[in-house]
Amino acid sequence: MTRRVRLWILAVGGAGLAALLVAACLELPGFGGTSHPYGDRAVRASLARRTANTIASINFDQRAFDTLGEMSILFASVLGTVVLLRQTRDERRAKPEPAYVALPVRRYALIVLPVALLTGLYVIAHGQLSPGGGFQGGVVAATALHLLYLGADYRALERIRPVGLYEVGDALAASAYLVTGLAGLIGGAAFLANTLLPYGTFNTLSSGGTVPLLNAAIGMEVACAVVVLLARFLDQAVEIEQEGGT
Amino acid sequence: MSVLPYLVAVWIFLVGCYGIATSRNLIHAVGCLAVCQSATYVLLLAVGYRDGGTAPVFSDVKPGSRPVVDPVVQALALTDVVVGATVTALLLALVMQVSKRHGTVDPDELSELRG
Amino acid sequence: MDDPLIVVTLLLVAACATAAVAVRDPERQALVLAVLGTTLAVLFTVLQAPDVALSQLAVGSALTPLLLLLSVRKVRRRGRKKDKAR
């Protein structure tokens, strides 16, 4: 198929899809409407279980099984990346060339690093109370670690980041989520049902039953996953070189 | 006027599709896929918005005192943002493998190689 | 739909998405995607979704562009080496 034919097919298909999508949009309930039946019920259920952040309640309580699926996708894609980006036999590790980073940038990175790391951990810990949670805090904490690459150098980053440990941590967090779910089964309820722990006092750190536990598991999972991913990509971009030609 | 957010989502999606189909570089195509993904977030959150509503977080709002926007769609979008990023990473790893095996990341050259 | 702030951020997001596709150099595209991620975070905040905005800010403006830039670097490095060997 030549480029020209392909562009024509794209134009026809795109126009058809656009017409269908626009027709669908015109039939949707208007933007900003007041009818949100699922939303209202979710808010009521979340308040009944004393979780201040409704979104955390939906992710880790009402739709916890769905989050298990999302976590499996995350785990599988990290696994796939690790397998794809491993060092093959015809590749070798070259010493990374030092690059010049302006002094103010280095200082700023080193000052911001602990602040960003702490922010990430705070966001994970307060997931059931304020906006945030394991998904967001995990990414913040993991990317914060990589400021060390900017502030010091690649060797320093490798020292504080034993990739093997983070891979184990990733798997442990995934199994922690499963074990918490199974605990509900042992306690005589359904898988991942939030009936095992007391719901606690509304708007305190220990409220929401199993929500904080699952939240912490996801936080660890995401943080480890992002660290492992970035480590593999950095390895490929900075260190690993192919021997000879292709 | 009340369909503008939906139309913006449609536009972002179509633009992303156009970018993927006409891309001459697989890394650029993955970037366009990220644009397509963001269209779904815009659509989901637009569906859940309520005029005059506030965020569905009750740590500083008394429950029942104000209308809140739909939290269900927000939960869907939230998990998808993070999981989508790791899937992007998987695609980029595949692109690196393609570049390693075939020495090019241009989809047109790749189809010539195969033929 | 009377909030002009929502309209402005929506149009801004649409413009950024178009720019992210129109920029053909993947290195520059990564930077435009970072801008798109930030404007999306602003839009989500305006739409009263702070949770999504937070994750979009972390992922869209930092993680995805970083991964894209690292891949560009890897692919370019291979290209340069091959040219030298030739």
- In percent, how much of chain C has pLDDT > 90? 74
Label residue A246 by pLDDT band (50, 70, 90): very low
Widest CA span of chain A, in angstroms? 66
Cβ–Cβ < 8 Å for B17, B86: no
Residue A77 and residue C38: Cα distance in Å, rounded? Answer: 25
- Report the CATH number at residue B97: 1.10.287.3510
Closest chain B C-alpha to A241 CA, distance in angstroms: 10
Q: According to the model, what pLDDT value does residue B114 have? A: 63
Whether residue C82 has pLDDT greater than 70: no
Residue A154 and residue A234: Cα distance in Å, rounded? Answer: 9
First to last CA, chain A: 28
Whether residue C52 has pLDDT greater than 60: yes
Domains of chain C by residue range: 4-85
Contacts of A140 in chain C (CB under 8 A): 58
Q: According to the model, what pLDDT value does residue C79 have? A: 67
B4 to C50: CB separation less than 8 angstroms, yes or no? no
Label residue A245 by pLDDT band (50, 70, 90): very low
Q: For residue range B50-87, what is the model confidence (pLDDT) as tens digits?
A: 888 888 888 888 888 888 899 999 999 998 898 889 99
With 0-12 / 13-18 / 19 or more C-beta atoms within 10 angstroms meaning exposed / middle / buried, residue A108 is: middle
Nearest by Cα to A180 from A220, A122, A136:
A220
| ipTM for the assembly | 0.88
Cβ–Cβ < 8 Å for A131, B55: yes
CB proximity B67 to C under 8 Å: no
Q: According to the model, what pLDDT value does residue A184 have? A: 84
Q: For residue range A213-240, what is the model confidence (pLDDT) as tens digits?
A: 999 999 999 999 999 999 999 988 888 8
What is the average pLDDT across A182-209? 82
Between C66 and C2, the more confident residue is C66
Q: For residue range C21-49, what is the model confidence (pLDDT) as tens digits?
A: 999 999 999 999 999 999 999 999 999 99
Between A104 and A88, the more confident residue is A104
Q: According to the model, what pLDDT value does residue B81 have? A: 92
Contacts of C82 in chain A (CB under 8 A): 245-246
Residue A134 and residue A18: Cα distance in Å, rounded? Answer: 36
Contacts of C21 in chain B (CB under 8 A): 15-16, 18-19, 32, 35
C64 to B85: CB separation less than 8 angstroms, yes or no? yes
Element holding A93 (H helix, E strand): strand A91-93
Residue B20 and residue A198: Cα distance in Å, rounded? Answer: 50
Q: According to the model, what pLDDT value does residue C80 have? A: 65
Count of domains forming chain B: 1
Q: What is the pTM of this model?
A: 0.90
Element holding A115 (H helix, E strand): helix A103-125
Residue B58 and residue C29: Cα distance in Å, rounded? Answer: 39
- To the nearest whole number, what is the mean pLDDT of chain A? 88
Q: For residue range B93-104, what is the model confidence (pLDDT) as tens digits?
A: 999 999 888 888
Q: For residue range A139-153, what is the model confidence (pLDDT) as tens digits?
A: 999 999 988 888 888
- To the nearest whole number, what is the mean pLDDT of chain C? 88
Domains of chain A by residue range: 53-242
Token pair belonging to A184: 């509900």
Label residue B115 by pLDDT band (50, 70, 90): low
- Pick the range with the lowest mean pLDDT from A20-24, A158-162, B11-15, B89-93: A158-162
Closest chain A C-alpha to B16 CA, distance in angstroms: 11
E strand residue ranges, B7-80: none
> From the candidates B10, B82, B113, which should be mutated to test the interface with A, based on the most A CB atoms within 10 A?
B82
Whether residue A1 has pLDDT greater than 80: no
Whether residue A187 has pLDDT greater than 60: yes
Q: According to the model, what pLDDT value does residue C84 have? A: 57
Residue A236 and residue C59: Cα distance in Å, rounded? Answer: 21
